[in-house]
Amino acid sequence: MFCTMFLELLLAVIAGAVLYYFIFRKNNEELPMGDGWWGPGQRRESEEDESIRPFKIETTDEELNDLFHRIDQTRYSEPLEGSRFNYGFNSTYLRKVVSYWRNGFNWRKQLDIINKYPHFKTKIEGIDVHFIHVKPTNLPAGRSAKPILMVHGWPGSFYEFYKIIPFLTDPRSHSLSDDQVFEVICPSIPGYGFSEPSHKQGCNSVAVARIFYKLMQRLGFHEFYTQGGDWGSLICTNLAQIAPSNVKGLHLNMVAVSGSNSRLPQLLSVLFGQRFPGLFGLQEEDVRRMFPFSSKVFYHLVKESGYMHLQATKPDTAGCGLNNCPVGLAAYILEKFSTWTDRDFRDYEDGGLERKFTLDDLLTNIMIYWLSGSIVSSMRFYKENMGKGLGAAKHETVLVKVPTGVASFPNELMHCPLYWAKQKYVNIISFNYMPRGGHFAAFEEPEILAKDIQQFVAKVSQK
């Protein structure tokens, strides 16, 4: 018994020494800005049209009639008894969703909501980039708004931010402090929604970060904040790596740390963290979320990551059916809004979808994918970023030195404790455990996320 405890203690001390090396060693490598061309054919010799054009999302009757026709032709399969959402989207509940989509959902009304914010397009590196740009409505006298770039992920869209924008641009009217007022820019990732997809291979997160950097420069913002989860987290991280003097602060609601710098510290904390949490800088909440690791992290990721393998290997094959069947598209996407919001929702007949979202909001996101025909191009983003394997990209080894804030939501797909995050983000000035919420934080808990962004920016401003 004594020998076993001594051996564990010795291993923990060795682990601590190794961790010290990994945490405190310096990495001065920078991520180059680079350049690219993602339009069709060869890059033109003439200068690119840098004009910013107003844009309005519109839908024809023919498009809606085609959608309804396809919905009416749907074939359903019966679910297994008692399966709920453990086999995927339960088709009994899917019938209810589709019935509402076909007979109760008012897309014209939702279009008015979508178009209430100003939309624009501009050509960058050969492709049209769509974005919304929302300025504050009640800016206090003598104050200036802080520009913030907010980037969505998959299977979301710019619409994810519609509920958080009022808290950021007009906080006083929404019972928040107006010490920090923002000017919000939400672009669509190329190949998502109304941003043109790349016509060439290789348009990965670093390329998109550079495109969004050029967008902010074109809008006249030479210093700005960034915020993101999912792919938005990676894109904003890459932006901070290629333009650290321009990014005043980086706020994330999802942190995924991989690469050679972090593998050993993560492995050691997984092996010994439950028994020696203090040695690895783990808080009580970290232990609660992570252990036992096999059931709370590993098996959950196995259950939820099948889509990732498909999209990182053969996105065009997996996506061709979704691009032609609106009900299949809805089931594929909405399942993620169930189990990524709360893993326990798998045991609900309706996947718990309407406990956190409205069908109007969920179907609006589906309509953005359907009408823009962007499901295949959005899925390709996984292959561009993961086709060479996790941790293989150069940006994985480049430290992020800009002030960083992390909002850690309890139902995120994978919990990243502070000391893991510090392997990559070496200037974390705010790390907070959120009281509730999952993967789609801005969509699900906009007020909580807005407050965390506000306090983070206040800390950056005081430095």
The domain limits of the chain are: 106-259+390-463
Is 179 a residue of the active site? Answer: no
pLDDT exceeds 90 at position 255: yes
- Options 230, 286, 342, 452, the catalytic residue: 230
Tell me the sheet residues that pair with 146.
182
DSSP 46: S
In this predicted structure, what is the pLDDT of residue 181?
96
pTM above threshold 0.75: yes
User: What's the whole-number mean pLDDT along residues 16-33?
Assistant: 57
Strand 224-228 with 182-187, pairing? unpaired
Residues 6 or more apart whose CB falls under 8 angstroms from that of 370 comprise 67, 326, 329
The answer to whether 423 touches 23, Cβ cutoff 8 Å, is: yes
User: What's the whole-number mean pLDDT along residues 247-263?
Assistant: 86
In this predicted structure, what is the pLDDT of residue 195?
98
pLDDT exceeds 80 at position 10: no
The answer to whether 409 touches 13, Cβ cutoff 8 Å, is: no
Rounded to an integer, what distance in angstroms lies between the CA atom of residue 75 and that of residue 363?
Answer: 20
Closest CA to 185 of 222, 225, 155: 225
pLDDT interval class at 259 (50, 70, 90): low
pLDDT tens, 273-298? 999 999 888 999 999 999 998 788 88
pLDDT interval class at 1 (50, 70, 90): very low
In this predicted structure, what is the pLDDT of residue 285?
95
pLDDT tens, 94-139? 999 999 999 999 999 999 999 999 999 999 999 999 999 999 988 8
Is 439 a residue of the active site? Answer: yes
DSSP 294: I
Report the CATH fold assignment for 106-259+390-463. Answer: Rossmann fold (3.40.50)
pLDDT interval class at 266 (50, 70, 90): confident
In this predicted structure, what is the pLDDT of residue 265?
79
Residues 6 or more apart whose CB falls under 8 angstroms from that of 155 comprise 332, 333, 336, 337, 365, 369, 378
Between 65 and 48, whose confidence is greater? 65
pLDDT tens, 364-417? 999 999 999 999 999 999 999 997 655 557 898 999 999 999 999 999 999 999
The amino acid at 338: S
Rounded to an integer, what distance in angstroms lies between the CA atom of residue 359 and that of residue 354?
Answer: 7
- Options 382, 395, 419, 425, the catalytic residue: 382
Burial class (CB in 10 A: 0-12, 13-18, 19+), 446: buried
Residues 6 or more apart whose CB falls under 8 angstroms from that of 252 comprise 227, 228, 229, 233, 236, 237, 404, 405, 406, 407
